[in-house]
């Protein structure tokens, strides 16, 4: 059964008012090496404090306890862990599952029955993990797609915002970077590397010193050693030669053979 837990570790808290029951369950869980028992509690009040502080993935929770029973513990939690109820009385089974527990175990806990429970725990945990992974992926996509739409250009004390759709190419010369529009150029404060990471996909790095807007290309000619010459449709019919180190990326992005 150890193979069941090859994908994720499961932090676990054991709650029972019988110390012997806690030790017995802890020993049974040693069969599953990915399960980390990070704490135990012997009453409902201390259980609530421990669980809300440690936020374990999984709780093995006795139902009959002094002061606050297992259901009372659940109602006082500030988040939703996976829950397995453990009790000597099967009369609580229906109520336990109404509380959306993963499983319900009768004392004394049998090894084979615990294995079934742990498989259910893993299945539920994987569902949660996939859900949060998808949310994270969507968030990353949104962040990745947060391309800039304007470039700030300082003119004395004023700042002008140039739409990226008006830009034909960016060029670096010495320590300076310029953006080029149809009939003008502007000095920028940003490096080409920084701009490359923020520009939309139509902008392609073709040389260490140039990023071009493919929508502003008039024609492309093959050049020495597999390179290309891009002629832009600005007033100067600017010609930009690519570097060989960028050839494969250019071919992929422009579907060039």
Q: All domains of the chain, ordered by start, with CATH? A: 2-143 (3.40.50.2300), 150-254 (2.40.50.1020)
| Per-residue confidence (pLDDT) for residue 120, from 0 to 100 | 85
Query: Residues 215-243: what's their mean pLDDT?
Result: 94
92 pLDDT above the threshold of 60 = no
Q: Quick one: pLDDT band at residue 53, thresholds 50, 70, 90?
A: very high
Q: Which runs of consecutive H residues, i.e. helices, occur in 2-110? A: 19-29, 44-54, 70-75, 93-98
**Is the pLDDT higher at 155 or at 22?**
22
1 pLDDT above the threshold of 60 = no
Residue that is written with structure tokens 């150029």 in the block? 185
104 pLDDT above the threshold of 80 = no
Report the DSSP beta bridge partners of residue 40. 14
Q: Is the dihedral of CA 111, 112, 117, 123 positive or negative?
A: positive
Whether pTM > 0.75 for this model: the answer is no
How many Å apart are CA 250 and CA 243, to the nearest integer?
10
| Per-residue confidence (pLDDT) for residue 89, from 0 to 100 | 67
Q: Quick one: pLDDT band at residue 101, thresholds 50, 70, 90?
A: low
Query: Residues 128-133: what's their mean pLDDT?
Result: 53
Q: Please, are residues 86 and 61 in contact by the beta-carbon 8 Å criterion?
A: yes
Using a pLDDT cut of 70, give the percent of the chain over it.
83
- Look at 17-21, 98-102, 171-175, 188-192 and tell me which has the smallest mean pLDDT: 98-102
Q: Are strands 176-180 and 185-188 parallel, antiparallel or unpaired?
A: antiparallel
């Amino acid at each position: 059964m150890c193979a069941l837990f090859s994908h994720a570790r499961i932090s676990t808290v054991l709650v029972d008012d019988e110390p012997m029951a806690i030790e017995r369950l802890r020993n049974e869980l040693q069969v599953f090496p990915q399960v980390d028992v990070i704490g135990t509690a012997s009453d409902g009040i201390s259980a609530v404090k421990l669980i809300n502080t440690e936020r374990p993935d999984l709780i093995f929770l006795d139902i009959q306890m002094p002061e606050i029973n297992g259901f009372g513990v659940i109602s006082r939690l500030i988040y939703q862990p996976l829950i397995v109820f453990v009790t000597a009385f099967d009369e609580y089974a229906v109520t336990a599952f109404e509380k959306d527990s993963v499983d319900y175990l009768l004392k004394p806990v049998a090894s084979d029955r615990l294995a079934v429970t742990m498989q259910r725990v893993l299945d539920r945990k994987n569902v949660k993990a996939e859900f949060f992974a998808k949310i994270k992926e969507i968030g990353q996509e949104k962040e990745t797609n947060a391309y800039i739409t304007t470039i700030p250009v300082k003119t004395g004390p004023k700042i002008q915002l140039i739409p990226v759709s008006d830009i034909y190419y960016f060029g670096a010369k010495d320590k300076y970077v310029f953006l080029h529009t149809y009939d003008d150029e502007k000095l920028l404060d940003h490096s080409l590397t920084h701009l490359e990471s923020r520009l939309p996909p139509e902008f392609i790095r073709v040389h260490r010193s140039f990023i071009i807007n493919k929508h502003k290309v008039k024609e492309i000619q093959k050049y020495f050693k597999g390179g290309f010459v891009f002629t832009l449709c600005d007033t100067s019919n600017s010609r930009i030669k690519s570097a060989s180190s960028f050839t494969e990326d250019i071919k992929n992005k422009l579907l060039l053979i």
